[in-house]
Chain A
Amino acid sequence: MQFNIHIPCPVCQTQIPADSNLLLTGMQFSCPTCNAAIGLSQKSAPVVEKAMKDFEELRKEVGNLKDNTVE
């Protein structure tokens, strides 16, 4: 599994590898040190979903920019 972010564990401060898209699906990620699990609250899911959607659009724009600029 490919992790694209690291979130510090609130209990022991160990970096927990996670994936922002999988967090949106409700998946939880365990701390490798203390086994505490973190996940995204349903309350914040719409905000994160919109942010990720905007981010994907930005990535597409950047992809077009790369293709058009350097040939």
Chain B
Amino acid sequence: MNPKNIRPFKPTFSKSHRIEKIISAPLEAAAHANAMMQREQTTYMMETGFNENNGRYEPIMIEMLLVQQVLDQDDTDDSGAPQMKTIKTTFNLPILTIIPINSLAVDQVNVQFEMEIQQEIVYNNTRPTSSGIPQTDKTQLKGKISYDSKEYVPNTSRRRQNSSSLKVEVNAAPLPLPVGVNIILDLYQKAIRPVELNNNNNTQQQN
């Protein structure tokens, strides 16, 4: 992770910008952070979950225990009833399946600020489109981030220039785990099945 790539969002109070730019700036910052997290997460998954062998990645497997209670027909009590027996077997899992990797993401972004509309530009568009339907006029708003109304101090330079203000609240949430990662985990999970190796109740799972 390169700290030089981290650019904190600092609102500009004096300059007027397009309203879209003001709203999208913090969301772009959040998306940028999410992208960096995904890169870090991918690097972690490749380094922790796989061994590279001549350009081929093989999953690192871990050994798990499976404990079951079974009735043993060969071991009976005085009345001839089979006894319960504890059987311990082992099976292998890719290490990635026991690490909660889907928890790394921007879970929620809340952006709240107030802004003053300083300029309204209307573009008249009378030319019909290729479908023959005339285009509607387009309006572009320009504004600047205003100080919080709770901080309003009359007769100072912080005083609001006009009353054309907007309160903007933006909520954003991440998409779930990437489809590719889900497919890999799903394939691993579907491949889990016990394979009997010998007759002494010792089984091993292969993937």
Interfacial chain B residues near A44, Cβ < 8 Å: 62-64
Q: How far is the CB of A45 from the nearest CB of chain B, in Å?
A: 9
List of B residues within 8 angstroms of A28 by Cβ: 65, 67
Cα separation A56 to B41 with both chains bound (whole Å): 12
In the complex the two chains form, is A23's CB within 8 Å of B98's CB? yes
Taking A20-B98, A44-B63, A48-B95 as contacts, is the C-beta distance between A70 and B37 under 8 angstroms?
no
Nearest B residue (CB) for A61: B1
Q: Would you list which residues of chain B between 140 and 189 have a CB under 8 Å from chain A?
A: 189
* Measured CA separation A18–B93 after assembly (Å): 14
Report how many residues on chain A are interfacial, defined by Cβ distance under 8 Å.
37
Q: Which of A10, A35, A36, A59 is B205 in contact with, Cβ under 8 Å?
A: A10
Q: Does B13 sit at the interface, judged by CB under 8 A?
A: no
* Interface status of B106 (Cβ within 8 A of chain A): yes
Report the separation of the CA atoms of residues A28 and B90 in the bound assembly, to the nearest whole angstrom.
13
* Cross-chain contact of B66 among A5, A10, A52, A62 (Cβ < 8 A): A10
Tally A-B pairs: CB < 8 A: 116
Stretch of B28-36, B72-80, B119-127, B128-136 lying at the A interface: B28-36
The distance in angstroms between the C-alpha atoms of A40 and B64, with both chains bound, is 5
Cβ of B81 under 8 Å from chain A: no
The residue on B at minimum CB distance from A3 is B100
Which of the residues B41, B62, B67, B95 comes within 8 Å of A37, measured between beta carbons?
A: B67
For B62, give its contact among A34, A40, A58, A71 (CB under 8 Å).
A40
Shortest B51–chain A CB gap in Å is 11
Least distance between B112 CB and chain A CB atoms (Å): 12
Q: Which residues, 38 to 71 on A, are CB-close (under 8 Å) to B?
A: 38-41, 43-44, 47-48, 51-52, 54-55, 58-59, 61-62, 65-66, 68-71
- Minimum CB–CB distance for B109 against chain A, Å: 6
By beta carbon, the residue of chain B nearest A4 is: B100
Give chain B nearest CB distance to A7 CB in angstroms: 7
A65 to B97: give the CA distance in the assembly, Å: 26
1/0 contact string of B36-49 vs chain A (CB within 8 Å): 11001100100110
Q: Please give me the 5 A-B residue pairs with the lowest Cβ-Cβ distance, nearest first.
A: A44-B62, A41-B63, A4-B100, A69-B33, A37-B67
Residues on B facing A (Cβ under 8 Å): 1, 6-10, 26, 29-30, 32-33, 36-37, 40-41, 44, 47-48, 60, 62-69, 90-91, 93, 95, 97-101, 103-104, 106, 109, 111, 189, 192-194, 205
